[in-house]
Structure 1
Amino acid sequence: MGMSVTISAAAEQDVEQILKLQYLCYQTEAQLYGDYTIEPLTQSLEELRAELAGGRVLVARLGQEVVGSVRGSVDAEGTGLIDKLIVHPRLQRHGLGGRLLGALERELAQAEGARRFRLHTGHRSDGNLRLYRRCGYVATATERVSARRSLIVLEKELAKEPADSGAFVTSA
């Protein structure tokens, strides 16, 4: 009998597993851009602990193993800022990234009043772009961060329906 993946709030004891998973997951991004100095690969344990204390961090677990994670916060304008969606390479392309993203969107909307969501990914990160578009995100801007890399900013608005419907619509 196989185990199912569960999604829950991250705890202090998850920090080291999240950081190790982050390092593993961002290797392909670093290789894609020829840049191993990207922030997810240089983030310290203390910096990650500060993120855990200052925002929402969810983890996906397979048994006791952290196999996915996503972070977010809500800014003063009510925009949910989503960051560092990661899924262990052996579990990618099975819907876990979409589940994590949806869980964080619901949490930020219900607990913190987010009315729209914003995230970013590298311009060559085709798999990430496909996932975000499939989840209703629309590209709204491009930010050049280096000679090799630009970030595509994507956004999604909450539907103008009753708050408990859980429906989202894309921004135009």
Structure 2
Amino acid sequence: MGMSVIISAATAEDAEQILKLQYLCFQGEAELYGNYRIDPLVQTLDSVRDEVTANLVFVARLGDEVVGSVRGSTDPDGTGEIGKLCVHPRLQGHGLGARLLNAAESALADQRSATRFRLHAGHRSETNLRLYRRAGYAPVGSATGQDGVRLILLEKDLAEQAYVASA
């Protein structure tokens, strides 16, 4: 009998597992860009702890193991910022990323009154870009991260999604 993956709010005790998972998951991105100094690989444990305290952070658990994570916050104009979505490589391709993304969006809308969401993905990260497009995100621009990676900026408006869904 298999266990179910449960999505829940992260706690301070999850910070170390989140950091280790993030380090594992973003190796492929680093290889894709030939850059092992991307933000998720150089983030400190204290920084992850700060994010868990200040932001809406969710984890996917398989038993006691954290197998997925995502962060959500709001910017000064109330837009929900979603970042560092990651799923353990052995569980990718089973909808867990979409479930984590949905958890972050729902919490940002319910707890922080966000009506628009923003995220980014590296320009070569086709798997991630495909997930975001399926979730209703559209490209709105590009930027270069502090690590030198060209990023595609994507946004999703909750009102437009509701209109499309009701049409």
Same fold (TM over 0.5): yes
Deviations along 1:113-162, one digit per CA (max 9) or x if unpaired, are 0010000010000000000000000000011337963000000001269x
1:14 alignment partner AA? D
The answer to whether structure 1 residue 26 and structure 2 residue 38 are counterparts is no
Q: Which deviates the most, 87-96 or 142-151?
A: 142-151
> Measured at CA, do residues 169 and 39 of structure 1 come closer, stay the same or move farther in structure 2, by a change above 3 Å?
farther
Map of 1:69 onto structure 2: 69
Provide runs of 4+ in structure 1 moved above 3 Å: 145-148, 167-170
Map of 2:100 onto structure 1: 100
What TM-score comes out, normalization by structure 2 length? 0.94
Map of 1:144 onto structure 2: 144
Q: Which deviates the most, 10-19 or 139-148?
A: 139-148
Map of 1:8 onto structure 2: 8
Aligned-pair CA distance for 1:77: 1.2
> Measured at CA, do residues 2 and 50 of structure 1 come closer, stay the same or move farther in structure 2, by a change above 3 Å?
same
User: What is the identity percentage for the equivalent residue pairs of Structure 1 and Structure 2?
Assistant: 61
- Counterpart CA distance in 2 for 1:100 and 1:83 is 11
Deviations along 1:25-61, one digit per CA (max 9) or x if unpaired, are 0000000000001111010100111111111100000
Query: Any idea what SS the aligned residue of 1:93 has?
Result: coil
Q: Give yes or no for contact 2:141–2:154 (8 Å, CA) kept in 1.
A: yes
**How many residues are paired up?**
165
2:10 alignment partner AA? A
- Pairwise CA RMSD: 1.8
Q: Give yes or no for contact 1:136–1:169 (8 Å, CA) kept in 2.
A: no
The answer to whether structure 1 residue 130 and structure 2 residue 150 are counterparts is no
Map of 1:153 onto structure 2: 153
* 5+ long unaligned stretches in structure 2: none
> Measured at CA, do residues 169 and 46 of structure 1 come closer, stay the same or move farther in structure 2, by a change above 3 Å?
farther
Query: Any idea what SS the aligned residue of 2:77 has?
Result: coil
Where relative contact order (Cα < 8 A, 6+ residues apart) is larger, the structure is 2
What TM-score comes out, normalization by structure 1 length? 0.91
- Counterpart CA distance in 2 for 1:71 and 1:57 is 4
Q: Give yes or no for contact 1:74–1:114 (8 Å, CA) kept in 2.
A: yes
> Measured at CA, do residues 117 and 89 of structure 1 come closer, stay the same or move farther in structure 2, by a change above 3 Å?
same
* 5+ long unaligned stretches in structure 1: 162-166
Q: Which deviates the most, 47-56 or 141-150?
A: 141-150
Q: Give yes or no for contact 2:81–2:118 (8 Å, CA) kept in 1.
A: yes
Query: Any idea what SS the aligned residue of 1:78 has?
Result: coil
Map of 1:164 onto structure 2: none
Map of 2:47 onto structure 1: 47
Query: Any idea what SS the aligned residue of 1:155 has?
Result: strand
2:137 alignment partner AA? Y
